[in-house]
C-alpha cells in the first residue's frame, strides 16, 4: 500500500471533493493519503507541506498567485496566468508550480464534442481561474473576450455581457458568486456554457432556460484532476472510476 501523502491547500477547503476524488482515482493508496490543509496564509501553507512531508498539493483560493514565489520552477501555463493550482516537491527538495486548469477547460469542451478553433468565447472573471480559461481557449484557437467586476486594460465591464453574448458561442463563468440573471438573458441554444463552480452552478438555470448546452463544474474538476493527479503521483489515475463517481455520464 502506498504511503505517500498529498493535500489541498487554501481557504475554504472543508467541502472540497478532491480527497474523495483522489481516493477513487487511486484505491491502491492508503486511506488518509490526501489531506485538507485549510489556511489563507502562504507561508503557513508551505510550512505545513514541509512538516507533513507532502509530495504534492493542489492549490486553491486565495493561494493560487501567493504561493508562486515559493516555487523554483514554474510551467509555461503558470507563467502566462500568474496562477498555480498544483505544487510538486522535486527530488532536490525544491517546489515546482503547475496549472492544470488550462488543460481542464480545454478538455471540458473538446470531450463534450464542442469545437473551439475559430470560435468566439467569453470568459467571465479575470482571477486565476478566469486567466486559465482565457489562456486555454486562446491556445485552442478561439477569439476571447473577458468581462470582469473591476475593469482594466483589455477587460470589459460586467454590464457588457449581454452584448458580448450576441457575438460569442462559448462561455466560461469563473466568478465566485452568481451575478444578476439579466446579464445572461441573451444566452441562446447556440451557446455552450461551462461553469467553474461545481458547488454553486451559477449559470445552470440561465443556460437551461435558454436551451444552451450546459457543462457543469464537474467537467472542469474532472479534467484538471486527471492531469493534476498524474503530475502529483507519476501514475495514471483510474479515469473511469473518477467519471462514475462524479456522475458525469448522467450530467
Q: What is the pLDDT along the chain (251 residues), one digit of tens a residue?
A: 677 999 999 999 998 999 999 999 999 999 999 999 999 999 999 999 999 999 999 999 899 999 999 999 999 999 999 999 999 999 999 999 999 999 999 999 999 999 999 999 999 999 999 999 999 999 999 999 999 999 999 999 999 999 999 999 999 999 977 667 789 999 999 999 999 999 889 999 999 999 999 999 999 999 999 999 999 999 999 999 999 999 997 44
Local structure of 216: helix, strand or coil: coil
pTM (predicted TM-score): 0.94
Domain boundaries, the chain: 6-99+220-250, 102-215
6-99+220-250 is classed CATH 3.40.50.10860: yes
Burial 122-135 (b: 16+ CB within 10 A, else e): bbbbbbbbbbbbbb
6-99+220-250 and 102-215: same fold?
Answer: yes
- Cell numbers standing for residue 239: 479515469
Distances (CA, A) of 196 to 3, 138, 174: 32, 17, 5
Which one from 44, 55, 64, 189 is the annotated catalytic residue? 64
Query: What is the CATH T-level fold of the domain 102-215, as seen in this structure?
Result: Rossmann fold (3.40.50)
Residue 179 known to be catalytic: no
Query: Which DSSP string do the residues of 110-139 spell out, in sequence order?
Result: HHTT---TT-EEEEE--SHHHHHHHHHHHH
Q: Which helix (H) or strand (E) holds 73?
A: strand 73-74
Amino acid at each position: 500500500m502506498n504511503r505517500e501523502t498529498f493535500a489541498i491547500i487554501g481557504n475554504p477547503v472543508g467541502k472540497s471533493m478532491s480527497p474523495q476524488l483522489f481516493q477513487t482515482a487511486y484505491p491502491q493508496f492508503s486511506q488518509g493519503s490526501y489531506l485538507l490543509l485549510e489556511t489563507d496564509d502562504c507561508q503557513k501553507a508551505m510550512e505545513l507541506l514541509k512538516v507533513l512531508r507532502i509530495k504534492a498539493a493542489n492549490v486553491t483560493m486565495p493561494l493560487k498567485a501567493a504561493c508562486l514565489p515559493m516555487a523554483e520552477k514554474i510551467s509555461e501555463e503558470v507563467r502566462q496566468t500568474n496562477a498555480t493550482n498544483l505544487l510538486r516537491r522535486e527530488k532536490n527538495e525544491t517546489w515546482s508550480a503547475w496549472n492544470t486548469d488550462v488543460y481542464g477547460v480545454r478538455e471540458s469542451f473538446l470531450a463534450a464534442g464542442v469545437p473551439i478553433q475559430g470560435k468566439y468565447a467569453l470568459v467571465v472573471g479575470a482571477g486565476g481561474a478566469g486567466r486559465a480559461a482565457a489562456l486555454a481557449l486562446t491556445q485552442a484557437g478561439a477569439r476571447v473576450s473577458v468581462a470582469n467586476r473591476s475593469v482594466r486594460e483589455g477587460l470589459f465591464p460586467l454590464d457588457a455581457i449581454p452584448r458580448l453574448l450576441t457575438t460569442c458561442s462559448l462561455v466560461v463563468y469563473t466568478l465566485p458568486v452568481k451575478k444578476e440573471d439579466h446579464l445572461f438573458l441573451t444566452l441562446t441554444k447556440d451557446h455552450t456554457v461551462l461553469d467553474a463552480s461545481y458547488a454553486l452552478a451559477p449559470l445552470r438555470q440561465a443556460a437551461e432556460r435558454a436551451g444552451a448546452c450546459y457543462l457543469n463544474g464537474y467537467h472542469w474538476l474532472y479534467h484538471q484532476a486527471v492531469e493534476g493527479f498524474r503530475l502529483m503521483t507519476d501514475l495514471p489515475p483510474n479515469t473511469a472510476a473518477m467519471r462514475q463517481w462524479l456522475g458525469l455520464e448522467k450530467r
